[in-house]
Amino acid sequence: MTTPSSLLGQPISRVDGPLKVTGQAKYAGEFNVPGLTYGHVLSSTIARGHIKKIDTSAALALPGVLHVFTHENRPGTAWFDRNYKDEDAPAGSPFRPLDGADIVYSGQPIALVVAETFELARHAASLIRVEYKTKEHETDLAEQRHKAHSPAPGKGGYEPPPKPRGNPDKAFKSAPIQVDAEYSTPVEHHNPMETHVSTVVYEDDGTLSIYDKIQGVQNSYDYVSRVFKLDKEQVRVRSPFVGGAFGSGLRPQYQLFLAVMAARELKRSVRVTLTRQQMFTFGHRPETHQHVALGAAPDGTLLSVIHETLSETSRFEDYCEVVVNWSGLLYQCDNVRLDYKVAPVDQYTPIDMRAPGAVLGVYALECAMDELAYKAGVDPLELRFKNYAERDQNQDKPFSSKELKACYYQGAERFGWGKRSPAPRSMREGKQLIGWGVATGIWEAMQQQAAAKAVLSIDGTLTVSSATADIGTGTYTVMTQIAAETLGLPLDKVTFKLGDSSLPKSPIEGGSWTVSSVGTAVKEVCEKVREQVFAFARKVHHSPLAKAELDEVTFSGGHIRLKSDASRAVSLTEAMRHAGVLHVEEQAMGLPNPKQMQYTRASHSAVFAEVKVDEELGVVKVTRVVSAIAGGRVLNPKTARSQIIGGIVWGIGMALEEETLLDQKLGRFMNHDLAEYHVPVNADVHDIDVIFVDEEDTIVNPLGAKGLGEIGIVGVAAAIANAIFHATGKRVRDLPITIDKLL
C-alpha cells in the first residue's frame, strides 16, 4: 500500500505514460467521426500589399472539393476587436483570418479549401491562382529602430521596466572597469512534434464539439463563442493531450477560426491541420537587439547597470516581454537604468516561447557579467557572489525564499569548477579547446486563480478535475499525486481529468504556474472532501474518531486514522455508507494569498557548461552541463528532472543552432521546415546533470512549489557562450554561435 507521506516528493512515473506508449492517447487531429471533411490553408506569398484577384475555379472543379473560402465569401463574424481578444492577447487589434484583401505578413492565410480528403484539399489549394498588388514591406528590425516605442499595456503579466534608480550614466562613466556591449538574439520558432490542428465535429443538433491543439481549452472556448456569437452551450472544446507547445498553444491559432467557420457554413465536421511549413506563419520568439553597459569597481563590485532592448512586434498588435527587468533584480546595484522598446514590422505578432523575456534578457546580462569578470580579473563565479542581491531592489521587497547561493555552491562542486584554469585557451585535449562557463538563471514564481472539482465515490475511487492542460510537463501525474496524498488514497484509486472546457475554470497552461495554481485548487478541494468525510466518520456507530478533531487524524490507505493510534480507524467507504451517501462532491477555488504581494517570488538556478571546440574546424560540442535549481518544493523529481533536461537541450539549441532566417527582400522566413531549421538531436546532447537544491517557501502557495517549466532554459545559452569564450578567447555576442562566427 502506498502511504500518503511517500507520494509528494517521490519520482512517480507518469500516470498517462501507458496511454502514450501504447498509442491510446488521442490528440486533436486523431478524433475521427463519420463524414469528416478536411481543410487546407493557402498562404500568401507576399509580405505586404493586397489581393487583386483570386481565382478558385480550378479548385472548385475537382470532384470532392466542397468549398473554397476566401475574403470574398467569408461568413460574417463578430465586429469589435474585444471579441477576438483571447486570454493571452497583447494590446492592439487581433488578426482576423480572411478578413479582407489586405496582406499584412508573408504566410498569411488567404484561402481555405475544404474537401473529402486531406490530399485532395491540398492539391486543390495548389490550383488557386492569386494576383497581388505589392507594397514595400519593412521586416528588418534594425532599420525600424527609429520607429520604436514603449509597449502599450495589455498583455497579461507584462511589467514595464522600473524607473531608473541612482545615477547610472554618471556612475558608468566614472567606473574604473567598464563593459559596454551589444548582444542580439534571432527569431526562433516553436517546432513541437504535433503541428497545430483543430477538429470541429458538427453534431446533429448543430452544436460544436471541438478538439483543439491548445494550452488552455477555455481560451479557445471563449474565443469561439465570442467571435461566432454562439451561446455557451453550443460549444465544447477538448484537448486531452498536447504534443508539445511551450507557448505556441497559448493563443488560439488561425486554424481554429477557419475550421469552425467551415463547419458552421457547411454543416459538416471539418479538420484543419497546419503543415510543418505553416507552423512558421504565426507567433515566434521575437528578435532582440540588446545594449548592456556594466560599470564596476576594481574588485568587480557593480557600480552601474544599464540594459536597453529593442524587440519586434507586428503592425496590428503591441507584443511585449519582460526582457530587461531581470537586470535590476539579479544583482545588487544602486545605479540602474532599464529600457525596453518595440518596433513594428511586417510580420505576425510574436508569441511567448519557453521563459519569454527572461531567456533573452538574462542571456545578455550573464554574458556581460562574464566579460566583466575577465576585465576585473575575478573568477566569474566569485563575481556573482560578490554582487549577490539579498533583496529585490526593483520593487524594494524581500524574496519569499532564495537559495541561489546553495545553487552556486552545489553546482560548482558537482561540476568541478575549482579545477578551472582561468585564462582563455588554457585548457585543451589534443586539438580540442576546452572551455567552462557559468551563468545564473531566474524565473518568476507565479500563482493564478484556478478551480477544481472532486468526487469521492462509495467504492473508494476519487475523480478530480480542472480545465487545465498537460503539454508533456506531467500535470496529470502531479495533480494525481496531490489528490491522492491529501485524501490518503493509492494512486490507482485517483483519476485526474483535464483539457475540457466544461471542467472547472483554469488559466492557460504557461508561465510555470500550473502546479502552483491548479495544484492549490486540487489540494483545497480535496481538503473540503476530507472535512465532509471526517464528519461522517465521527458519527459511525462506536466510532474511534467520535471525539477527535481533524488535526488529530491522518488519511492513509483509504482510512481515517488517529495519529496517536493508527490502528483506530474508520474507512472512507464505511463513513460514506453510514451517512447514506454514494458520493461526496466538492468544488474549490484556489486563490493567491494576499501576503504574496509583500514578496518577490522567483525560482533560481546556477548553470555550469563545458564545451569542446575543434581548434581547426570551429565545431562546438557541449559535453557537460550541470544545472542546480532552487524551485521550492519539488513534488515529483522524475517529471521535474525531465523538465530541466528539456530546458537545457532547448538552451543548447538557442546557443548553437536555432535561428529562423528572414529574406529581407521577400519579407519571408526561408528555413521553414525541420530540414533547415536546426534543433539539437541526440548527437548534440551529452552529459546533463540536474541538482534540486532544498528550498522551503511557505509564501508562494500552500504546496511550496515554485514551478520548473521555464527555469530550466534560463541561463543555459549564456553559460555555453561564456564557455566558448573561455575555450577560444573569442567573444561572440550574436546568437546562435555558429562555426562561421568562430572561424
Residue-wise pLDDT for 355-384, tens only, equals: 999 999 999 999 999 999 999 999 999 999
- Is the pLDDT score of 718 beyond 50? yes
- Is the pLDDT score of 80 beyond 60? yes
Closest CA to 260 of 204, 194, 207: 207
- Is the pLDDT score of 3 beyond 60? no
- Is the pLDDT score of 498 beyond 60? yes
pLDDT of residue 157: 57
Burial of 93 (0-12, 13-18, 19+ CB in 10 A): middle
Q: Cβ(710)–Cβ(355) under 8 Å?
A: yes
Kindly report the pTM of this predicted structure. 0.97
- Is the pLDDT score of 2 beyond 70? no
pLDDT of residue 6: 75
pLDDT of residue 454: 98
Per-residue model confidence as pLDDT tens digits over 569-612: 999 999 999 999 999 999 999 999 999 999 999 999 999 999 99
CA distance 252 to 272: 13
pLDDT of residue 158: 75
Q: Is 676 a catalytic residue?
A: no
Per-residue model confidence as pLDDT tens digits over 281-312: 999 999 999 999 999 999 999 999 999 999 99
- Is the pLDDT score of 175 beyond 70? yes
Per-residue model confidence as pLDDT tens digits over 452-484: 999 999 999 999 999 999 999 999 999 999 999
CA distance 450 to 339: 33
pLDDT of residue 5: 55
Beta carbons within 8 Å of 354's beta carbon, 6+ residues apart: 246, 247, 647, 650, 709, 710, 713
- Cell numbers found for residue 361: 534578457
CA distance 619 to 728: 11
Q: Per-residue pLDDT averaged across 434-460, rounded?
A: 97
Average pLDDT, the chain: 96
Percent share of the chain, pLDDT over 90: 98
- Is the pLDDT score of 9 beyond 70? yes
More confident residue, 232 or 254: 254
- Is the pLDDT score of 736 beyond 90? yes
Q: Per-residue pLDDT averaged across 217-238, rounded?
A: 97
Per-residue model confidence as pLDDT tens digits over 623-649: 999 999 999 999 999 999 999 999 999
Question: Out of 312, 586, 659, 710, which one is annotated catalytic?
Answer: 710
pLDDT band at 159 (very low <50, low <70, confident <90, very high): confident
Per-residue model confidence as pLDDT tens digits over 251-275: 999 999 999 999 999 999 999 999 9
Per-residue model confidence as pLDDT tens digits over 405-421: 999 999 999 999 999 99
- Is the pLDDT score of 1 beyond 50? no
Beta carbons within 8 Å of 626's beta carbon, 6+ residues apart: 411, 414, 415, 607, 608, 689, 691
- Residue 78's SS3 state is coil
Q: How many CB atoms lie within 10 A of CB 426?
A: 14
pLDDT of residue 154: 62
CA distance 308 to 180: 11
CA distance 402 to 601: 9
The values of phi and psi at residue 510, to 5°, are: -175, 175
Q: Are strands 620-630 and 662-663 parallel, antiparallel or unpaired?
A: unpaired
pLDDT of residue 155: 61
pLDDT of residue 156: 56
